[in-house]
Amino acid sequence: MKIELTAQQLYELDAGGGTVPRVIDPRNNAAYVLVSEADYETVRDILEEEQRQSSIRATAVRNAIGRMDDTP
């Protein structure tokens, strides 16, 4: 989905002075942060890698616990 910014929104974006613009949904007051697509992709990649590493650690712990129950 693409939403084009209005002239006033572009002005506010340019006048923001480097701050991250926030957008409020008036229906429920939910706040959204407007970031560049490149920044979004970077953060998404980092979060996906973090989730993958967490899953690997959880599997390793389960395997280690399983081996502890084995008697030699």
Report the distance separating Cα 63 and Cα 43, nearest Å. 30
**HSE toward the beta carbon, residue 17, CA cutoff 13 A:** 0
Which pLDDT tens digits describe the chain residue by residue (72 residues)? 899 999 998 998 888 887 888 999 999 999 999 888 999 999 999 999 999 999 999 999 988 887 776 656
pTM over 0.75: no
Identify the pLDDT of residue 45: 96
Q: Which residue has the tokens 């572009």?
A: 10
Identify the pLDDT of residue 71: 58
Identify the pLDDT of residue 20: 85
